[in-house]
Amino acid sequence: MFSLKDLNELLDKMPLWKRMKESPERIDALEKRIVSLEKRLSGSGDICPKCKQPTLELVSSKNINELIGLRQFNYKCSNCGFTDSRNKVD
Ligand SMILES: [Zn+2]
């Protein structure tokens, strides 16, 4: 008698069926890659010098010399934790 097991074995021999069986996992993996690419593309932060992601963001700033308008800007990467400070004249 032809059983469900036989049917599954038969279907396993069909390449298209194999691809369809793998599809949900492939789609999940592709979705993850798309989300990560979208994050990189829409990243509003500066490029982090350490991990090269656009996740370097301004976290604080303070006056260093008000007379000449010199301020210190502190940046932190939300991806790798890298910190940087830059002095700028406004
Ligand atoms: Zn980083």
Same domain? 32 vs 10: yes
What's the 11 CA to ligand 1 centre distance in angstroms?
A: 47
Tell me the residue range of the domain where 6 lies: 1-42
What's the 13 CA to ligand 1 centre distance in angstroms?
A: 47
Q: What percent of the chain has pLDDT over 70?
A: 94
Same domain? 49 vs 35: no
Residue 6 has a pLDDT of: 87
What's the 59 CA to ligand 1 centre distance in angstroms?
A: 14
Same domain? 54 vs 84: yes
Residue 56's CATH number: 2.20.25
Is the Cβ–Cβ distance between 45 and 56 less than 8 Å? yes
What's the 75 CA to ligand 1 centre distance in angstroms?
A: 10
Backbone φ/ψ region at 24: left (φ over 0), alpha (ψ -120 to 50), beta = alpha
Question: Tens digits of per-residue pLDDT, 43-64?
Answer: 668 889 999 988 899 999 999 9
Strands 70-77, 56-65: pairing is antiparallel
Same domain? 56 vs 83: yes
75 C-beta neighbours (distance < 10 Å), count: 19
Query: What pTM does this model have?
Result: 0.51
